[in-house]
Amino acid sequence: MSVVGTTAPSADPWDNTSDDPTRRAPLVLGAADYASVTEKVAELAERRRPPRAWYIAFGVSLALTGLLGAMILYLFTTGVGVWGLNSPVGWAFDIINFVFWVGIGHAGTLISAILFLFRQSWRTGINRFAEAMTIFAVICAGLFPAIHVGRVWLIYWVFPLPNQMQVWPNFRSPLLWDVFAVSTYFTVSLLFWYMGMIPDLATLRDRATSRVRQRVYGLFAMGWRGSNRHWQNYERVYLILAALATPLVLSVHSVVSFDFAVSMVPGWHTTIFPPYFVAGAIFCGFAMVLLLAVPARQWFGLEALITLRHLENMNKIMLATGMIIGYAYFIEFFIAWYGGNVYEHFAFVNRALGPYAWSYWIMVTCNVIAPQLFWSKRIRTSPWVAWGICVFINVGMWFERFVIIVTSLSRDYLPGSWGAYKPTWVELCTLLGSFGLFFTLFLLFVRFVPMVAMAEVKAVLPQADAHASPNEPERRATGTLAVEKA
């Protein structure tokens, strides 16, 4: 039966993390068939009252969104002086938050597009809400560059629109590349998310018990009827969108890193930035996916669809990307020494030992040391412990951007122009408020939209294999439920 030297199959039917290569781990647990998947997921969007935890979370999030609105109003009516920005630190919380939120989004695209191209069928349990997370994170991200410009009523100058001065934007500036990269990223993510949802919206339409629900879901389902002639084009477009989103997601954070790397500031002007930024984005994005997935699967009883194996796989990706981050930190220091440039050398010594050393060591502790706990399988498969580590990772990645931006700007070439930066309460409340906006949107999403891609999960069930012949029951049983085999 069991092969020597492999993990023994666990007796727990909800543990599908066995690495026994002779048995394919099931992707969906419980006595799953098509109807039970539909029932489980659609019921969540149909229930009259969500759990009490939802109301509490929504109330808090909505209040924080209100705080965000108030802070933005205060900013607009008074001016950017309400923030702690100064010369030389002209970028701080605004751009830190922008980079942080854009980075969060990247894991959603990685799960939906890159894992799709690699035929990682476990992605089907988590891709829908990871994609939703991407869209909401990019909304939060887009907010910050828009409000930080000072004269916010002229924000349309970033777009190449005809204007009364008859001048065009400077296309050789990475800041303009950013406008194109982030708006393309948002658009493509939204199209991908919506298209993936059409078959599931049709399911909600067909299950609707009220006329209003039938109409609304029916309108968004576009008359989808599961036709195979439609599926043919649909699947091809899905593949094309995945193939387009994959280089796109790598380009977006690369372009964000160009905002720094193309400038001449010591600590910014390095070629390692694009890959280092992309790895960091995926790292903290996965942490955010887990941060959302662990409570969601518990509150909504989705343990059969978002299994321990999903969580463990994500923890492994965080371990790997965390190691890349650690390596990047090391290489930055090595090059600062090996490159022989005194300013570069100073910038890095200043990061680790200067006035902002505390932020540097928070970053290292959270991003390099904390994820090392994921070497332990016990920790990888304990959802709430992993959740705690993910909080650390998100804090660490926020501080990474703080370190990069604030330490570099506050002390560059000329000691005479050095300065210090301290956030005001307005900046802190704006950051807090952006979390409120993010969670408000996410909670609305889990309330009204199927949060697991039902059609995709059904397609990876063992019984969905049309080639299986009824004469070969053992073939059909491949990868079936651990419950049955145990």
The answer to whether residue 187 forms part of the interface with another protein (CB under 8 A) is yes
DSSP code at position 269: -
Output b/e per residue, 350-389; b: 16+ Cβ within 10 A. bbeebebeebbebbbebbbebbebbeeeebbbbbebbbbb
The answer to whether residue 223 forms part of the interface with another protein (CB under 8 A) is yes
Q: Tokens 């989705």 — which residue?
A: 302
CB of 74 closer than 8 Å to CB of 68:
no
**Long-range contacts for 348-353 (Cβ within 8 Å, ≥24 apart)?**
348/267, 350/407, 350/411, 351/267, 351/403, 351/407
Radius of gyration of the chain (CA): 24
Q: Between 210 and 228, name the residue whose CB sits nearer to another protein.
A: 228
Binding mask 137-176 for another protein (x = CB under 8 A): -----------------------x-----xxxxxxxxx-x
The answer to whether residue 5 forms part of the interface with another protein (CB under 8 A) is no
Q: Which stretch binds another protein (CB under 8 A): 29-37, 62-70, 126-134, 310-318?
A: 29-37
Q: How far is the CB of 304 from another protein (least distance, A)?
A: 16
Looking at 205, 309, 310, 380, which residue binds another protein (CB under 8 A)? 205
Q: How far is the CB of 166 from another protein (least distance, A)?
A: 6
Q: Between 164 and 166, name the residue whose CB sits nearer to another protein.
A: 166
DSSP code at position 371: G
Q: Kindly state the number of chain residues that form the binding site for another protein, as judged by CB under 8 A.
A: 70
Q: Between 240 and 342, name the residue whose CB sits nearer to another protein.
A: 240
Looking at 45, 71, 241, 306, which residue binds another protein (CB under 8 A)? 241
Q: How far is the CB of 216 from another protein (least distance, A)?
A: 12
Alpha-carbon torsion, ordered 318, 28, 6, 384, to 10 deg: 40
Q: Report how far residue 178's alpha carbon sits from residue 301's, in angstroms, rounded to the nearest whole number.
A: 40
Within 13 A of 117's CA, how many CA atoms are on the CB side?
13
Three-state SS for 42-85 is HHHHHCCCCCHHHHHHHHHHHHHHHHHHHHHHHHHHHCHHHCCC
The answer to whether residue 8 forms part of the interface with another protein (CB under 8 A) is no
The answer to whether residue 89 forms part of the interface with another protein (CB under 8 A) is no
The answer to whether residue 206 forms part of the interface with another protein (CB under 8 A) is yes
Q: Between 152 and 237, name the residue whose CB sits nearer to another protein.
A: 237
Binding mask 276-315 for another protein (x = CB under 8 A): ----------------------------------------
Q: Which stretch binds another protein (CB under 8 A): 136-144, 235-243, 330-338, 391-399?
A: 235-243
The answer to whether residue 31 forms part of the interface with another protein (CB under 8 A) is no
Q: How far is the CB of 122 from another protein (least distance, A)?
A: 16
Q: At what angle do helices 52-78 and 425-448 cross, to 10 degrees?
A: 140
The answer to whether residue 77 forms part of the interface with another protein (CB under 8 A) is no
Among 252, 233, 239, residue whose Cα is nearest residue 187: 252
Q: At what angle do helices 93-109 and 228-261 cross, to 10 degrees?
A: 150
Q: How far is the CB of 108 from another protein (least distance, A)?
A: 16
Among 5, 89, 162, residue whose Cα is nearest residue 411: 89
The answer to whether residue 195 forms part of the interface with another protein (CB under 8 A) is yes
Phi-psi group of 332: left, alpha or beta (phi > 0 → left; psi -120 to 50 → alpha; rest → beta): alpha
> Taking CB under 8 A as the criterion, which residues in 42-61 touch another protein?
none
Q: Which residues bind another protein (CB under 8 A)?
A: 33-35, 38, 160, 166-174, 176-177, 180-181, 184, 187-188, 191-192, 195, 199, 202-203, 205-207, 218-219, 222-237, 240-241, 244-245, 247-248, 251, 255, 258, 454-456, 458-459, 463-470
